[in-house]
Structure 1
Amino acid sequence: MTIILTNDDGIEAPGIQALVKAVNGKSAIIAAPRDHQSGCGHQVTTTRPISLQRRSETEYAIAGTPADCIRIAISQISKDIKYVISGINAGGNLGVDAYISGTVAAVREAAMHGIPGIAISHYRKAKQNFNWDLAAELTSEVLADLLERTLEPGSFWNVNLPHLQPGEPHPEMVFCQPCTRPLPINYRIDGDNFYYVGEYGKRDRTSGSDVDVCFSGNIAVTQLKV
């Protein structure tokens, strides 16, 4: 089974290296953005060339968005892709984030072509450092479960890892519904310039939703559809 690994933080990001570790030897090809593409949503490139750098037999840096990476991967790199895994994103992609996230867009693009996928993100508390080794360990546990499950056509998984503090209990996987509350919106104004300063951790959290599950220290798993 050939798996495509991608992300929206760029091919050099530590999150995708943690994802490679979590995949643990499965037949995987990295087809990821050459540059940082966080927050690009499902944008695709149609008005300029998209350069591709083949770094090895299994690694491609693509000068496009995550959705571009999947389009190129399934049409030009391999004809035998059975799964797409995107991440591990440095920051949560909970609830309505799915409309903004390039991480999620990659697996949505795959689902459009009948290929199942998993988007994996890591919620971050107050700009604290990530423990990527722990993230790889948790992701490995998630993949062991989700890769064995059957997805309906046009569906995909959106997974959010919690930001655990030392001594906190091992998280559980919780299947839940995405929160539909909006993200916090606030701006710092400097002349004619507006700087976004919404605080992610202060967003509304519907009880039992993915936001609530993840903020409570567990792994939130939602099934989304195209």
Structure 2
Amino acid sequence: MTRVLITNDDGIDSPGLVTLARAALRHRLDVVVAAPHEESSGTSAGLTVLGEEPVAKPVELDGLPGVQCHAVTARPAFIVLSARGGSFGDPPDVVLSGVNRGINVGRAVLHSGTVGAALTAGMNDLLGLAVSLEHPEPGELHWDSAEELAVEVIPLLLDSAPGTVLNLNVPALPPAELGPLTRASLASAGSVQTRLEQAGEATEVVTTVVDGSAEPGTDAYLLRQGKPTVTALRSVSEDPDFTWPAGR
């Protein structure tokens, strides 16, 4: 049976984590959940451990009876590497990361802890999927839409070559109003913005901001049309077009 690690960067208490685990369980996959014990947004593929050494505490999550779950004092990319090394039982074949509160689109995905976990999986010849849900403010989070689209995309991922990483973004619409799932390129527009959420506790929240110039056919552009998007990502690799100066 295919072994799947579910992780995120919003922390172990996020409903998006349960949403994504349920999508995997609907495909009868062997699921283990391991996620940061606290918010870890904007950490990219960072390997920070909170404390002298990582601590994994077993927890129970509502809606996931019988599923092994862990709250870990580390960032999502570190959790992926730990899982690959057998820290949470049999190593996973697949890493599903999310569902993130807020989209991860354009070149700003470089900074996302959600995407960073999926890319870390891909760099280690696992399959990776990052799932993010648009969160308008004020507005409703449609976790059911994210679950249905994850269910749709998981078979596509499972049929892909090892190292494949997909980035799924879900618009803020109920399932009945979603447009068709569309392959998209990365928007060149997009930036990451950090704001202080609770001044007393100095909690930083990282959000993706996309300006009005997103190009047609890109993830940011299509999301505005109500279309969920999927983008295949490639992590760090050599640049074959770089030319050394003469004599070097």
TM-score (norm 1): 0.85
Counterpart amino acid of residue 135 in structure 1: A
Shift of 1:126: 3.1
Please say if 1:103 is aligned against 2:114: yes
The 5 Å alignment of 1:191-206 reads: 200=209, 202-206=211-215
Match of 1:225 in 2: 234
Percent identity, please.
28
What do the CA deviations read for 1:65-99 (whole angstroms, capped 9, x no partner)? 11111111111223441111001101000011211
Question: What are structure 2's unaligned runs of at least 5 residues?
Answer: 61-66, 197-203, 236-248
Greater radius of gyration (CA): 2
On the 8 A contact 1:185/1:197 being kept in 2, the answer is: yes
On the 8 A contact 2:190/2:209 being kept in 1, the answer is: no
On the 8 A contact 2:4/2:31 being kept in 1, the answer is: yes
Please say if 1:210 is aligned against 2:211: no
Shift of 1:127: 3.5
On the 8 A contact 2:190/2:210 being kept in 1, the answer is: no
Q: CA RMSD in A?
A: 2.7
Counterpart amino acid of residue 4 in structure 2: I
Question: What are structure 1's unaligned runs of at least 5 residues?
Answer: 189-194
1:147 aligned to 157, 174, 190, which one? 157
Match of 1:55 in 2: 59
Shift of 1:164: 1.4
Q: Return the alpha-carbon distance in structure 1 between the equivalents of residues 30 and 144 of structure 2.
A: 21
TM-score (norm 2): 0.78
1:72 is paired with a residue of what secondary structure?
Answer: helix
| Residues 132 and 182 of structure 1, relative CA distance in 2, 3 Å threshold | closer
Once the two structures are overlaid, the 10-residue window that deviates more, 45-54 or 109-118, is: 45-54
On the 8 A contact 1:125/1:201 being kept in 2, the answer is: no
The 5 Å alignment of 1:19-58 reads: 19-23=20-24, 24=26, 25-45=28-48, 48-55=52-59, 58=68
Q: Return the alpha-carbon distance in structure 2 between the equivalents of residues 33 and 196 of structure 1.
A: 15
Please say if 1:17 is aligned against 2:13: no
2:84 is paired with a residue of what secondary structure?
Answer: helix
On the 8 A contact 1:42/1:105 being kept in 2, the answer is: yes
What do the CA deviations read for 1:135-172 (whole angstroms, capped 9, x no partner)? 2122222224x234313x54310110111169x73321
- How many residues of Structure 1 are paired with residues of Structure 2 in the alignment? 217
